[in-house]
């Protein structure tokens, strides 16, 4: 190799290294600028409604916030949330119509930047209601989790999350209880309701001491459901390729068994065709097992 070729190779290598260093510095500087430009700014907001007896429906929909539904200390309705610079909250309050609605819309240009930001504070939305609230509550979040404790509802308590989990303990609803999670887990203990709908697409569902006056629906796509100490007049258990293990308090003679196993496996005891109760099970390729206990 000639002397000039060696010099040329050395020059090209030096240029390449310098270009790489410059590129890394450029990306780092611009990322830092973007990070600073889109720094999250939170503003705490509080809402209080003294005339809670007229409010029949509370509807809340947020994006990344956790939601906590709890009993208020003064028997009034309180709502605390945090506004930020990534989206917009819209609060609709019509006492005459009996509706309180809070919606959050995330701006499209900020969605791609949320994964790079660190939230250094608790931004949970807290809804406080009377211990025996006469209305209905419907709350949902995209990336957050939902919790409810010690609540007694006259009509409906519905909770849902796309990517987060749902936890409920010591909850009574006269009409309906609902817990729907996409990728997250569902954990419910000491629940009493007129009807109930439980679903987790790919997460794990754990139920214990779950009593329903009429119909209890439990559904999973690929997830697992483990349900203990169940009571209901009508059971509707369904999975695509997941697993459901249900332990029912009572006798199998009190139920008519309707099974649709398809390519999966369903294990249930024999029932009674003339029974008042119904236990319906359906799976595509998953497994369902139901055990009865009269203790």
**pLDDT of res. 131:** 84
CA distance 159 to 174: 16
Predicted confidence (pLDDT) per residue in 53-69, tens digit: 678 899 999 988 899 99
Sign of CA dihedral 38, 40, 41, 42: positive
Higher pLDDT, 38 or 128: 128
> Where on the phi/psi map is residue 64: left (φ > 0), alpha (ψ -120 to 50), or beta?
alpha
Tokens representing residue 271 in the block: 């029932």
The average pLDDT across 276-290 equals 96
Higher pLDDT, 151 or 26: 151
- Please name the residues in contact with 228: beta carbons below 8 A apart, sequence gap of 6 or more: 207, 208, 209, 247
Q: How confident is the model at residue 31 (pLDDT cuts 50, 70, 90)?
A: very low
The reported pTM is 0.81
CA distance 104 to 116: 20
Angle, alpha carbons 272-277-282 (nearest 5°): 85
**pLDDT of res. 35:** 46
Q: How confident is the model at residue 8 (pLDDT cuts 50, 70, 90)?
A: low
> Which residue has tokens 């600073």?
36
**pLDDT of res. 3:** 58
For the chain, give every domain's residue range.
Answer: 1-37, 42-144, 177-295
Under 8 Å between Cβ of 196 and 213: no
CA distance 184 to 159: 12
How many alpha carbons lie under 13 Å from residue 89 in its C-beta half-sphere?
A: 22
What average pLDDT does the chain have? 84
Predicted confidence (pLDDT) per residue in 249-266, tens digit: 999 999 999 999 999 999
């Amino acid at each position: 190799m000639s002397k000039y070729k060696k010099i040329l190779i050395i020059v090209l290598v030096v240029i390449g290294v310098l270009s790489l260093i410059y590129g890394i510095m450029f990306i780092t500087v611009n990322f830092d600028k973007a990070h600073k430009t889109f720094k999250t700014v939170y503003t705490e907001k509080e809402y209080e409604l003294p005339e809670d007896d007229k409010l029949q429906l509370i509807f809340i929909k947020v994006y990344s916030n956790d939601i906590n539904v709890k009993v208020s200390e003064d028997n009034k309705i309180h709502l605390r949330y945090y506004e930020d610079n990534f989206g917009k909250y819209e609060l609709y309050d019509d006492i005459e119509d009996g509706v309180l609605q809070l919606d959050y819309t995330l701006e499209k240009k900020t969605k791609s930047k949320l994964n790079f930001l660190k939230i250094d504070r608790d931004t949970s939305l807290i809804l406080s209601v009377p211990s025996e609230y006469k209305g209905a509550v419907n709350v949902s979040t995209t990336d957050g989790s939902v919790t409810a404790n010690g609540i007694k509802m006259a009509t409906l308590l519905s909770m849902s999350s796309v990517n987060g989990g749902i936890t409920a303990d010591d909850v009574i609803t006269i009409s309906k209880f609902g817990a729907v999670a996409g990728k997250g887990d569902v954990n419910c203990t000491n629940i009493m309701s007129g009807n109930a709908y439980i679903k987790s697409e790919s997460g794990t569902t754990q139920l214990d001491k779950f009593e329903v006056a009429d119909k209890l629906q439990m559904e999973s796509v690929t997830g697992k459901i483990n349900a203990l100490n169940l009571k209901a007049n009508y059971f509707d258990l369904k999975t695509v390729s997941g697993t459901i293990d249900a332990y029912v308090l009572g006798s199998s003679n009190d139920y008519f068994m309707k099974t649709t196993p398809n390519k999966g496996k369903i294990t249930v005891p024999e029932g009674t065709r003339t029974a008042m109760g119904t236990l319906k099970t359906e799976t595509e390729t998953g497994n369902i097992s139901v055990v009865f206990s009269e203790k």
